[in-house]
Amino acid sequence: MPPDLKIKEQVYKDPRPAETFDRFHARTRTHRPEWPYEVVRVITVWLAVTAFRARGFGAENVPNGPLILAPNHASFLDHFFAGGFIRRHVQFMAKSQMFGKGFMSWVFTHGGVFPVRRGHQDAEAFTTAFTILDRGGAIGMYVEGGRSRNGLVGESAKPGIGRLALQSGAAVVPVAILGSHQVRNWKRLRFPRIIVRYGKPIRFERVSEPTREQQQACADEILRRIRELHQELERAGSHAAAAARASVRAERSGSRVS
């Protein structure tokens, strides 16, 4: 079997000044996702289901109210895989290189996506995220930061998601996406099957001013939950969908008993 296509090296620092992104943050703070969100959702879910035979399991684990959706990250399509099987409008924090003067920047912003300035301490991104959570919205944030190159869940977590979870008190739903690191092979007409598994929500005790250690511990726990879900799917191999379905049924049974 030929090797997977290589993806471009990621640019880890955006040299543009912070003021470049003020207008994107301003719109996201004052507007909820608009019609481009649903248009993009319809198109990408159709693509995911038909081309990649994508299936989602455990969507009932995603609650209403302030929410942080935390998927693993191996593909530029993970935004759509993670948000495609739930009713919530998920507003993702995306790398600032995706924002500029082009049409796609307009689509991102009107669809609820907002920038985080790569390679910098970006207070504005967190202000926008807290604004969304304060109004009961849903944030999408990758615990690992950048994309995995081999499809495995990363070994370390970024503390930012811990800060969001602790200061906001929002529910956190870990999400495992299996197979998305091979999506780039579509150029070879190879379409991997994608499985999305939503785990049970985690609720951390609210801390108004969490220390760096508390933020990291929270992020580590979220990543651990994601890894457990992902490993469960990996072990099932070609039967990952059946395993995910059975796991969700077991969760439901456990909930009824308790």
pLDDT tens digit sequence for 174-230: 999 998 888 777 666 677 899 999 999 999 999 999 999 999 999 999 999 999 999
Q: What is the pLDDT, as a whole number, of residue 187?
A: 66
C-alpha 32 chain-centroid distance = 18
Distance between CA atoms of residues 56 and 178, nearest Å? 11
Ordered alpha helix ranges (H), 198-239:
212-236
Distance between CA atoms of residues 220 and 224, nearest Å? 6
Q: What is the pLDDT, as a whole number, of residue 212?
A: 96
Q: What is the pLDDT, as a whole number, of residue 225?
A: 97
Residue 9 lies in a domain: no
Residue 47 lies in a domain: yes
Q: In the chain, what percentage of residues exceed pLDDT 70?
A: 93
Residue 80 lies in a domain: yes
- Tell me the one-letter amino acid at 60: E
Residue 186 lies in a domain: yes
Beta strands in the chain, from DSSP E residues, in sequence order: 55-57, 67-71, 90-95, 114-116, 138-140, 171-178, 195-198
Q: What is the pLDDT, as a whole number, of residue 1?
A: 41
Residue 10 lies in a domain: no
Distance between CA atoms of residues 32 and 244, nearest Å? 32
CB 133 within 8 A of CB 66: yes
Task: List beta partners, residue 93.
Answer: 114
Residue ranges making up the domain that contains 159: 18-257
pLDDT in tens, 141-158: 999 877 887 778 888 999
Q: Of 204, 182, 93, 99, give the one whose Cα is nearest residue 142.
A: 93
pLDDT in tens, 69-115: 999 998 888 999 999 999 999 999 888 999 998 899 999 999 999 99
CB 240 within 8 A of CB 178: yes
Looking at the structure of the chain, the number of domains it has is 1
Residue 4 lies in a domain: no
pLDDT in tens, 16-56: 999 999 999 999 999 999 999 999 999 999 999 999 999 99
